[in-house]
A and B are shown apart, each in its own frame.
Chain A
Amino acid sequence: MIEIQNLTKEFGPLRVVDSITFTVKKGEVLGFLGPNGAGKSTTMKMITGFLAPTEGTARICGHDVEQEPMAAKKKLGYLPEGAPAYTDMTPAAFLDFIADIRGLTGATKAARLAAVVKQVHLDQVLHQPIETLSKGFKRRVGLAQAILHDPLVLVLDEPTDGLDPNQKFEVRQLIRSMAQNKAIVLSTHILEEVEAVCTRAIIIAKGKVLFDGTPESLAARGPLDEVFRKITTGDRVAAN
């Protein structure tokens, strides 16, 4: 459902993402790993159509994000880095706005809003301005916004960043429970997260894909931390 072909992004002379190619099928949860500045967020910004790639294409459910942005964006739920939201609004008003923009109306809208609020446990802060919420709640508002229209494709940039261990556990459970009928890409630099939720892992560094395989095959190489360091600082490792 996500097809990435030779995706490349240059900022001036800097090649931040270097000809990345991969596809994500329905039911897959792809963990995007890499050191800071590896090009994870930039790749996600191109998949979601926020950034235009210098070269290559990204397709969501068959729609090229550059050629048919509207069709692609409708299929997509996105949690941008840092979970930006209109902080002077309450989660209730914010999610209501997102529902309107997503074209949800009437009973469907009410049902989806109720379901999502329950899924990410927002009920106790629903009528408090977002700016007064803790980091964990802000992240959950961002998550709620991304899954509100039950999209086929979900792109999550560091969905568990800033959450406490219990909240991390809950969010991972949520992602797993949604995985069946969606294609999900999430970025993280927490290695255990990949084992916990992902069916596949891609490691990138300096804009290049260095590993593409299952978390098990990654774990089979030894302790995750060491493998990660070896891959991202050393030579290219053949994918399994």
Chain B
Amino acid sequence: MRNTWILAKRELSGYFATPVAYVFLVFYLLLMGLLTFYLAGYYERGVADLQPFFALHPWLYLFLIPALSMRLWAEERKSGTIELLMTLPVSLTEAVGGKFLAAWLFSGIALALTFPMWLTVNFLGQPDNGVILASYIGSFLLAGGYLALGSFLSAVTKNQVIAFVLTFVAGLLLVLAGTPLVLEPARAFTSDFIVDSLRSFSFLTHMNSIGSGVIQVTSLAFFASLIIASLAACVVTLDLKKAS
């Protein structure tokens, strides 16, 4: 646990040692703000809630999370620092956990910096702050699940661009699995069981249910198992490929 935290701390300070963190944060906040007001029609709806804001998150994460996760292991393998890391008295699990934790905390910082949205909506009306809190937690869980997946895919390759594309595609599949685009054809050709399974694997399904103010056990279990399975796959992949 101690090692995991030391590694997370180093990784996180690495973000802020270069412009990466600041560029990411500015881009993230600009995009979140602009799209909420212009694309999602936040004012025009005339309802005091953050639903249009949170509805954007799964889509924005498709670009932002791979940008964050692509370097996690690909860079470590490319620059050879993985050899240093793996010969320090640190287990592979601690290393994978530490780097993931740093990325997740960073995405949490970015998410927390959207607090002016919350201030705005409370200034304009009387929103259900319980729903907003649940949605924030949901968005944070989504970021965690997607980052874990991204960290696994970043371990697969030394090339950060490939890691980005792989993570983007995997994320896109997981988002689209809950849309009519996938569900309607699936319903026509397969059983209800498959359709329900597909739906339950979708980021959108879980985000929608959390967006109604209820964090269901199934959603928690979904994100927790996504994180654990992805990180386990990351450990196995690194063990096999660390030296290649």
Contacts and interface: CB of A to CB of B under 8 A. Distances in A.
A80 B83 contact: yes
Given A70-B91, A80-B84, A100 B18 contact: no
Given A50-B242, A73-B89, A84-B83, A101 B3 contact: yes
B14 interface: yes
Interface in A89-117: 89, 93, 97-98, 100-103
Interface residues of B, number: 22
Given A84-B83, A85-B81, A93-B13, A74 B6 contact: no
A11 to B, nearest CB: 9
B79 A84 contact: yes
A50 B89 contact: no
Contacts of B79: 84, 87
A126 B80 CA distance: 22
A97 B12 CA distance: 12
Contacts of B90: 101
B119 interface: no
B84 A101 contact: no
A51 interface: yes
B80 A48 contact: no
A111 B3 CA distance: 22
A76 interface: yes
A51 B3 CA distance: 22
Contacts of A55: none
Interface string B4-27: 001101100110011000000000
A82 B83 CA distance: 11
Given A50-B83, A73-B87, A80-B87, 6 more contacts: A45-B243, A50-B243, A51-B243, A78-B84, A86-B14, A97-B6
20 contacts: A45-B243, A50-B86, A50-B242, A50-B243, A70-B89, A70-B91, A78-B84, A80-B80, A80-B84, A81-B83, A84-B81, A84-B84, A86-B14, A86-B81, A89-B13, A89-B14, A89-B17, A101-B90, A129-B17, A145-B84
Interface of B: 3, 6-7, 9-10, 13-14, 17-18, 79-81, 83-84, 86-91, 242-243
The 3 A-B pairs with the shortest beta carbon distances in the complex, nearest first, are: A84-B80, A73-B89, A80-B83
